Structure 1
Amino acid sequence: MSSISEADFHCKPGDTICEIRVYEQEVIIVPILLLASFLVTLVFIFLLRFCPEKVDRVRPQASKAASRRVLHGIDAPPGINVLEHESIALDVPSSYSTFHPPNTYPAKNLSTSVDTPSFPSSPPPQPFQPSFKPIVQPRELPRKRLPESFNLVTPLPTAFSLRSDSTVSLYRARMENRDVVLRVLNDSADATERHSFLGFASFLAQIGPHPFLPELLGVVSLRAPLVTVVEELENRDLLSFLWQCRQEQVDPPCEMTERRIFTMATQVASALEFLHSKDLLHGNIRARSVLVSSAFTAKLWGLHGVYTRKNQGVTQRDDPSMKKWQAPELLAKRPASQSSDIWSFGTLLYEMATLGEAPFAEISVNELLQFHQRGKSLKKPSNCSNTLYTIIKGCCQWKYQDRPSLAEVKRKLVSGEKSASDKVLKVPGTVNIEQYLQEAGYGETNSYTVF
């Protein structure tokens, strides 16, 4: 029976309420549904216009992956520098969207079985067992702070660089009235590289702030391009700074004194002690891994290797460019320990005293372990005091048990600073890049460029 016949049958003529009940679906329900749909659409458009971050949180994963945008108006600079190229081969899952760090960072045993010169009969150091557990996530920058809205964005120039395939581009910018460095992941990066990029930013936040570690100011992780924002240290890496101190009449002035060496070394040692307190080994202590502010404050960087060694399934390449700074036990493929970082810290002091010379420059990488086994040590630089050289020799002892603790090194540095000279260190001549690469162990097979 039709609705019309039902109305005629049930309702008396002129009974409006009765007719509305019969036609309830057509008169009430359908208009309400249409009005609700309109309001939902209007709210979504409003959120999309004014609060895109909230839309991204509810957007399906597939649509997020497909909505990558190009960083307009900025051309990636060639090459790399100390903030950019720290990548180590990773074996990680192929999907990663935002910060979901593992609950723990298990250690990877770096020891392998090789034929090497015999070590003293003392027992080898135990494999390092980290207990660091991440609990903090980095600050997510809002939509208005995406790279195209940063002020004064320019490619970050580099003074010394090794060319390598890299998925990260660096830019200088202004944010919140301060100079910052933008580490921008290129759109060509695959899922593994995105996972590593965001995982490293999360790791920096989890370490926590320290006055002598570069400050992580925030990330952009909810939409492409992915960006990590770090404070800028105007004098950049310590190696370039030391080389600049060799030059005459540089602007701004660059003067290195023995007192400044003690001060900056104490700052680096403080940052390293902070990492060790969290059961984290640095593994890459050298001048290229230290950044210098305009006030000559030294801050320890080069932390990507720390991050990768704390993830399961990480593989670390055998990098010949690090061997001149590595302790003998690492050259012999034995487990790393905190004493291994102490050795590298001694070579860093040597770099500072010589204004950027490569340690063990006269020894080839293949002969380095035998050189250490014979009890040889770093030569005393001409500008180096007995106090500073004693610390260098103490850090670079063949037996890891004979090396001082980091707390003891800090005490000696603080004590030495009180009597250190304020005379400006001078080293004749500028650095020959080709010669330095050979002496530092990079080898002829590495392509290089100077900017």
Structure 2
Amino acid sequence: MANNTTTSDPCAAGDNLCIIRTHQQAVIIVPTLLLFFTLVIALAMTLVSCLSRKRTRTTILAHYSSSVHRREGRLQGIDAPPGLDPLEHEELPMAVQKAKQPNRKATPRETTGGRVGSFRHVTVLPQTLSINSSKTVGLYRARMDNRDVVLRMLKDTANGADKRHFLGFTSFVSGLGPHPFLPALLGVVTASSPPVMVMEELRHRDLLGFLWRCRRVDYDESACDMTERTVFTMATQVASALDYLHTRRCVHGNVAARSVLVGGDLMAKLWGLGSAYRRHAQADAGGGMEVLELKKWQAPEVLSRRTFSPSSDVWSFGMLLYEMITLGDPPFAELLATELLQHLQRGRHLQRPSGCSGSLFAIITSCSQWSPRRRVSMATLIAKLQEGERSANGRTVIRVSEPLDTGKYLREAGYGEAYNYAVL
């Protein structure tokens, strides 16, 4: 036993220096090397993680850029996708600009069939009864990436408050997010002057004007052959958009044919969000809520100066259905707007239009109940519209014998008592 111990341990008992020299590789060098390699691996993993996050962010931005702009150099300045607030003054270029274009304000003279910045074939958008430029915002039609777009462009006469309102509205619309039956927000240009909001253009523009064109016997277009099934289909699309807004805690407050845009395939998209934004801005500022839209479409609780709610949108939706089945007649045409609330308080309702089926009029009636609690919910409304679409007449074209009288319409709709009816 003594001999074996001596062979395995060459150091004498108590010789510490010999013991350290003998075991220094196992006790000092190996742990030191292990610690060094551990630190190197941790540093490498940290660098890889940082680079990965950077590449991921770049990929996300590039993906969004390619989805909005198929070629380089389309939009100048920042383009605000959903969730990005342009008021944060954080510039996010969506495309690499090869050549910086001069910052100059566009005037109507410069935008007649010409080119403004990255937009081609810019022309003034023709005004209609439902779509009008305001004192501060001009509307133009243009081409961008081989598609038709509408430009909401701040005018030179706009002041600082107008610009804040313009940017606030674009931020509000961007924050709502995309939906198949809301017009697509394609970009917001704020880094150059003037600020521009870029929206998709829908071929038939506002639904009210489209319905009126369908009345004309000389208007030769098969797309204008509105049937009751078409009414159900388009109404379902608008209801879907309205339900989505409600899930975003946004009450529209201006549901009417003038606030619906129609595409070439008769797809209906809900717009007219100015009323919702005004209430949003006034609520943030602590101010009262003004009622600026046409009264013939408003629910009784709105007429009596109470709050807006999703149920008040349901009431207005019933008025929209009435417009669609009558090819653009205003609801309660026989009354003055000032008489409407008293008329409703007496328990009176809309009269059933000629040519309106019982199923469709039942939906109109369920939307226009005096008590908000008795009105149909959005989920039930959409289900009823989908059921009606399956059984509706898709062959008989809706016809109205009476030609359109614009002056008469303005009086019956109560335009003289409204402050603002522009939807864009």
Could you tell me which of 365, 379, 398 is aligned with 1:425? 398
Q: Distance in 1 between matches of 2:390 and 2:358?
A: 14
Residue in structure 1 matched with residue 94 of structure 2 by the alignment = none
What residue identity is the alignment partner of 1:182?
A: L
Q: Deviations over 1:166-199 (max 9, x none)?
A: 2111111111111100111101100111011111
Following the alignment from structure 2 to structure 1, what is the Cα–Cα distance between the partners of residues 184 and 420? 31
State whether residues 162 and 447 of structure 1, in contact with CA within 8 Å, keep that contact through their aligned partners in structure 2: no
Matched position secondary structure for 1:218: strand
Give runs of aligned pairs for residues 187-266 of structure 1, distance below 5 A.
Answer: 187-253=156-222, 254-266=224-236
Please give the alpha-carbon distance, in whole angstroms, between the structure 2 residues aligned to 1:162 and 1:377: 29
1:310 aligned to which of 275, 280, 283:
280
Deviations 1:407-432 (A, max 9, x none): 10101000001110121100013211
- Does residue 354 (structure 1) correspond to residue 354 (structure 2)? The answer is no
Q: Partner amino acid for 2:333?
A: A
Name 2:410's counterpart in structure 1.
437
The answer (yes or no) to whether the contact 1:76–1:169 under 8 Å persists in 2 is no
More displaced 10-residue stretch of structure 1: 305-314 or 419-428: 305-314
Partner SS state of residue 359, structure 2: helix
The match for 1:365 is 337
- Give SS of 2:266's match: coil
AA aligned to 1:69 is: R
Once the 2 structures are TM-superposed, how far is the Cα of residue 159 of structure 1 from its aligned partner? 3.4
Q: 1:283 to 1:176 in 2, by over 3 A?
A: same
- Give the partner amino acid of 2:264: S
Partner of 1:9: none
Partner of 2:317: 345
Residue 159 (str. 1) matches residue 194 (str. 2): no
CA offsets, 1:118-175, max 9 Å, x none?
xxxxxxxxxxxxxxxxxxxxxxxxxxxx933311111111332587852111111111
Please name the residue that 1:401 is paired with. Answer: 373
- Aligned-pair RMSD on alpha carbons? 2.7
Q: Show the counterpart of 1:299.
A: 269
Partner residue in 1 for 2:383: 411
- Counterpart of 1:283 in structure 2 is 253
Q: CA deviation at 1:316?
A: 4.5
CA–CA distance in structure 2, aligned partners of residues 332 and 286 of structure 1: 20
Q: 1:76/1:427 Cα in 2 relative to 1: closer, same or farther (>3 Å)?
A: farther
Deviations 1:358-409 (A, max 9, x none): 1001011111111001111111110100000000011000111110101101
Return 5+ residue gaps in structure 2 as ranges. 1-74, 79-88, 92-101
Distance 2:342 2:111 in 1: 43
Give the 3-state SS of the residue equivalent to 1:310 in structure 2.
helix
Normalising to structure 1: TM-score of the pair?
Answer: 0.67
Q: Give the letter aligned to residue 418 of structure 1.
A: R
In structure 1, C-alpha distance between the alignment counterparts of 2:300 and 2:354, rounded to whole Å: 26
CA shift in 2, pair 1:380/1:160, >3 Å: same
Shift in alpha-carbon separation, 1:52–1:446, aligned structure 2, 3 A: closer
1:329 and 2:301 equivalent? yes
CA distance in 1, matches of 2:371, 2:179: 31
Kindly name which structure, 1 or 2, has the bigger radius of gyration based on alpha carbons.
Answer: 2
SS at match of 1:169: strand
8 Å CA contact retained: 1:76, 1:170: no
**Per the alignment, do residues 375 and 433 of structure 1 end up closer, same or farther by CA in structure 2, a change over 3 Å counting?**
same
Distance 1:447 1:174, change over 3 A: closer
C-alpha contact 2:130 2:206 (8 A) present in aligned 1: no
Q: Which runs of 5+ in 1 are unaligned?
A: 1-50, 59-66, 78-145
Instruction: Determine if the alignment matches structure 1 residue 71 to structure 2 residue 106.
Output: yes
Q: What amino acid is the match of 1:301?
A: W
> Counterpart of 2:415 in 1: which secondary structure?
coil
420 and 386 in structure 1: CA distance in 2 versus 1, 3 angstrom threshold: same
1:175 aligns with 2:163: no
In the TM superposition, residue 310 of structure 1 has moved relative to its aligned partner by 1.6
Q: What's the CA shift for 1:70?
A: 2.5
Quick one: structure 1 residues 252 and 175, their matched pair in 2 at CA, closer, same or farther if it must change by over 3 Å? farther
Alignment partners' CA distance in 2, 1:238 and 1:414: 20
- Mapped to 2, the partners of 1:298 and 1:163 lie a distance apart of 20
2:111–2:123 contact (8 Å) kept in structure 1:
no
> How far apart, CA to CA, are the structure 1 residues paired with 2:133 and 2:121?
27
Contact kept? 1:218, 1:228, Cα under 8 Å: yes
| 1:379 corresponds to 2:379 | no
Taking the aligned partners of 2:408 and 2:420, their CA distance within structure 1 comes to 13
Aligned sequence identity (%): 51
Distance 1:162-1:209 versus aligned 2 partners, 3 A rule? closer
CA distance in 1: counterparts of 2:377 and 2:226, whole angstroms: 26
SS state of the match for residue 426, structure 1?
coil
Task: Compute the displacement of 1:299 (Å).
Answer: 0.2
State how far apart, in whole Å, the 1-side matches of 2:376 and 2:134 are.
Answer: 39
Instruction: Identify which of structures 1 and 2 has the higher relative contact order when contacts are C-alpha pairs closer than 8 Å and 6+ apart.
Output: 1
CA distance in 1, matches of 2:210, 2:372: 31
Q: Distance in 1 between matches of 2:253 and 2:156?
A: 30
Q: Tell me the CA shift for residue 76 of structure 1.
A: 7.5
1:141-160 to 2 correspondence within 5 Å? Answer: 147-160=116-129
**1:285 partner amino acid:** V
